[in-house]
Structure 1
Amino acid sequence: MDVDGGRRMFQRLGPSSSSDNSSNNKQQKVCFHWRQGKCTRYPCPFLHSELPTGANGGKRAHQGFGAEDNYRGGGGLRRSGNYNFSNSNTWGRVQSQQPGNSNRTVVKKIEKLCNHWVQGSCKFGDSCKFLHQWSTGDCFTLLAPLEGHQQVVTGIALPSGSDKLYSGSQDETVRVWDCQSGQLAGLINLGGAVGCMLSEGPWVFVGLTNLVKAWNIQTSTELSLNGPVGQVYSLVVGGDLLFAGTQEGTILAWKFNVAANCFEPAASLKGHSLAVVTLVVGGNRMYSGSMDHSIKVWSLETLQCIQTLSGHTDVVMSILCWDHFLLSASLDKTVKVWAATETGNLEVTYTHTEEHGILTLCGMHDSEAKPVLFCSCNDHCIRVYDLPSFSERGKIFSKKEVRSIQIGPGGLFFTGDGSGQVKKIGTVSTVLHMEHLVQKPGRFT
């Protein structure tokens, strides 16, 4: 096979003949489109069969589609090869093996969403080599796509006692959705890109540039919390304080004054050299992840940094508290599991590696109370893992990378991606059952 001008040219079948005309020469070539499974001509002037061995200088005329034919085609689960765990825990250890699958090879499609199918224009149907489904693993059902945002969705909030969903985007709007019908119930123009969102009790907080907006959906109170410098990327509530991670690397704290019905500045936590992009509270500690590749551990009692974790080599995008462990995800393509030593300091006990940078983590329990991890990567895919083995149980695909995941009541959860689409997704009740189905009262009531 020769490459001539980007087109594959094949030698003719059989001996040459002076009586062959140009039309016959054409008919002795293998159809390029047929090889890719997308020839639509009938009849086609080219061959829909392979040339025999020897017709091309003794070499095979065609070797198939290459590595894509067996893309993860072994049928087994892809697991990290890094088993850096201690004997005292089982992170990364496979808990069970499926019987009867050791010698079975399963031919799978390329695990990538078909863009034409998403747009409703794929003409290949079941023969398409890309996926025509939003998820794998038979665990999830797309209930409704919520369309309207024009840019990446950076935050999703479900206020307590409300039947509305709030989504914020870099298109400078917050959209309010009816959770039952999926219809747009309100639109708020903010005049600035939304960096993050948080709901706590009846309050909805929105991180903007140099500002945090706060709405009480019960009293219709609207407040502006000043003090941040640059974009606010992360928000969390710890104790009776609201914390905001800012672009300049400072974490600001406010305390709610019930009598005055306002938020008063309480503290300014400094230590990070670059933007704080993720905050989480666990027990009496707060954890902050930053663009400076570090994680800082803060005491909620003293508001002092008590430890700096330096295991990642790129931006720490998401942190999750799980039982006695801390999970951190980074653009360095790893999820690290941290555990406390005898001295009380956190150390890495296991590292899980992905093929792409990781954007956000979200945890839940299935119907058997087993922990499950959602791991969103920048290849437009959320991988769902059993913990602590990190065995993959399914995938959820989106138009673009998923930046926001929010657990809802009744086995629902919501995702927001880079295209501006919000998805309402349900779990199969016999397989997954969301933790925290009943939302707890907020601290600011």
Structure 2
Amino acid sequence: MDLDMNGGNKRVFQRLGGASSKDSNQKVCFHWRAGRCNRYPCPFLHRESPPPAPFPGSSSSTNNKRVADDDSGFAGSSHRRGPGSGNNTWGRFGGNRTVTKTEKLCKFWADGNCPYGDKCKYLHCWSQGDSFSLLTQLDGHQKVVTGIALPSGSDKLYTASKDETLRIWDCASGQCTGVLNPGGEVGCMISEGPWLFVGMPNLVKAWNIQTNVDLSLTGPVGQVYSLVVGTDLLFAGTQDGSILVWRYNTATNCFDPAASLTGHTLAVVSLYVGANRLYSGSMDNSIKVWSLDNLQCVQTLTEHTSVVMSLICWDQFLLSCSLDNTVKIWAATQGGNLEVTYTHKEEYGVLALCGVHDAQAKPVLLCSCNDNSLHLYDLPSFTERGKILAKQEIRSIQIGPGGIFFTGDGTGQVKVWKWSTQPTAIHP
């Protein structure tokens, strides 16, 4: 799914201007500003200096042709301090200096090779906040994690990825005990009772982990991006914009085709069942509300301006998030239709939502954004109480038992987190 075509998830960095060879010794070193200059000697200044006067005959466009060609992620304007920002003592020759930490993850530290240690101004940690902690990390997937499931009655954790594998993890030891190859790229995965459902190109695989029954449900056109179960029905959101429905047949132990719900004009990427309704979010920027009684669309919500990435129900509210950088809270009017009652804005596109209760049973919203961060908000105030950082976008979130929750990111890493058992003060 190429979400770049739908806006909101491309990070655009402003390029820095460079100096010509005739005045290079008067320019401030770009790499020094980013805290990683390793040139001995360096031809550029390792201190802040007012910009020199334009070279005779040159134009501003000429002085801005240099492109910061590196893949460190530190090339953007948000990662540097320019002229006029005050005394800058960051760098190799800073002497005794006070390092002001940013809220950005140090990518060199994440790769295990940051040379600056405590003096690095980027974060050397995977999270901020003292009400939860990282228990362990599960490595093995080679691409983005698209599903995390804990089937009922099982002591195993299942993870799915676009690397065309499912991995099985022992919950006690954290060790990978098996790797399954379903035969295609996995777009999503959920569990319901003993069943594991896997969305793939042009089909849904249903696997009963207790009886080892393995079924292939055909009918989808293109990749299956979303799955949900409600009132004995299995729903699959597909690339062609339709929602396919199967009903479980207890007599034959199979899933029989029940319906095909049409109306979306682009891929259905999020599904949720609540309050006798099916909610579907699409790349056409809309949310459709379907009655589970007759499988008819009863309302279409069009307030989002980009892809509707995730949906959840909490009490009487519907929460939706989008690549338009918003989380919207919907509530029913007296007439029964949903209307937006609150819009929470983020700096970046929002990828996934998950509701959880912390160790003190307080409601917390987990909100993943495409700046590789996941925010934890107290509800209903949306007060931020912590943040989780990753190398790449966190696409999968799953709640486990005993205060455990899981995150899966674009690198294939799955992290296991646990809420603190001690009461934690929540600061406004």
- Shorter-chain-normalised TM-score: which range? 0.7 to 0.9
Q: 1:9 aligns with which of 6, 21, 25?
A: 25
Q: CA offsets, 1:130-165, max 9 Å, x none?
A: 100000012232222111111111111110111111
Structure 1 residues 400-420: Cα deviation after superposition (integer angstroms, max 9, x where no partner): 001100101111111111111
Displacement of 1:35 in angstroms is 6.3
Superposition pairs of residues 160-239 of structure 1, within 5 angstroms: 160-239=152-231
The equivalent of 2:111 in structure 1 is 119
Q: 1: CA distance between counterparts of 2:122 and 2:408?
A: 23
* CA RMSD after TM alignment: 2.9
Matched, 1:321 2:321: no
- Post-superposition offset of 1:69: 7.5
Secondary structure at the aligned position of 2:264 is classed as: coil
Of 72, 76, 81, which aligns to 1:65?
81
Instruction: State the partner residue of 1:141.
Output: 133
CA 50–321 in structure 1, closer or farther in 2 if over 3 Å, else same = closer
Aligned equivalent of 1:424, options 416, 422, 425: 416
Distance in 2 between residues matched to 1:144 and 1:235, nearest whole Å: 28
Letter in 2 for 1:204: L
Q: 1:249 to 1:10 in 2, by over 3 A?
A: closer
* 1:227-376 aligned within 5 A: 227-376=219-368
Contact in 2 for aligned 1:68/1:110 (Cα 8 Å): no
Separation in structure 1 between the aligned mates of residue 83 and residue 316 of structure 2, nearest angstrom:
42
Structure 1 residue 431 displacement after superposition? 5.0
Q: Residue 271 of structure 1: CA displacement?
A: 1.2
Give the percent of matched residue pairs that are identical in Structure 1 and Structure 2: 67
Structure 2 gap ranges (5+): 1-17, 54-79, 87-97
Distance 1:215 1:6 in 2: 68
Distance 1:39 1:287, change over 3 A: closer
Cα-to-partner distance string for 1:6-32 (whole Å, 9 max, x where unaligned): 985249xxxxxxxxxxxxxxxxxx988
* Distance (Å, rounded) in 2 between the aligned partners of 1:111 and 1:117: 14
Counterpart secondary structure, 2:118: helix
Q: How far 1:370 sits from its partner (Å)? A: 2.4
Indicate if the aligned counterparts of 1:8 and 1:32 stay in contact, CA closer than 8 A: no
Q: Which amino acid aligns with 2:176?
A: L
Instruction: Give 2:395's aligned residue.
Output: 403
| Cα distance in 2, alignment partners of residues 116 and 132 from structure 1 | 9
Once the two structures are TM-superposed, the CA of residue 39 in structure 1 deviates from its matched residue by: 6.7
Separation in 1, partners of 2:177, 2:85 = 46
Give the secondary-structure state (helix, strand or coil) at the position aligned to 2:295: coil
Alpha-carbon distance in 2 for matches of 1:107, 1:305: 56
Structure-2-length-normalised TM-score: 0.80
CA contact (8 A) 2:99 2:121 kept: no
Whether the 8 Å contact between 2:99 and 2:119 is mirrored in structure 1 is: no
2:240 partner SS? coil
Contact map agreement 2:187 2:224 (CA 8 A) in 1: yes
Deviations along 1:380-411, one digit per CA (max 9) or x if unpaired, are 00011111111111110011001100101111
Q: Deviations over 1:157-215 (max 9, x none)?
A: 11011111111111111111112222111111122100100100111000011111011
| CA distance, structure 1, for counterparts of residue 392 and residue 269 of structure 2 | 20
Distance 1:125 1:212, change over 3 A: same
Which ranges in structure 1 are unaligned for 5 or more consecutive residues? 12-29, 58-63, 71-105, 433-445
Note the alpha carbon deviations across 1:242-261, whole angstroms, 9 max, x for none: 11111111111111111211
TM-score, normalised to structure 1, is 0.77
Deviations 1:250-284 (A, max 9, x none): 11111111121111111111111111110001121
Runs of 4+ in 1 over 2 A off after TM superposition: 2-11, 30-51, 64-70, 366-370
Between 344-353 and 140-149, the greater mean CA deviation after superposition: 140-149
Q: Which residue of 1 aligns with 2:59?
A: none
C-alpha change, 1:68 and 1:377, in structure 2 (3 Å) is farther
Contact 2:148 2:159 in 1 (8 A): yes
* Distance in 2 (alpha carbons) for counterparts of 1:286 and 1:367: 30
Name 2:58's counterpart in structure 1.
none
Distance 1:411 1:348 in 2: 31
> Whose RCO is larger (CA < 8 A, sep 6+)?
1
Count of paired positions = 370
Q: Letter of the aligned partner of 2:311 in structure 1? A: I
Would the aligned equivalents of 1:207 and 1:231 in 2 still touch at CA under 8 Å? yes
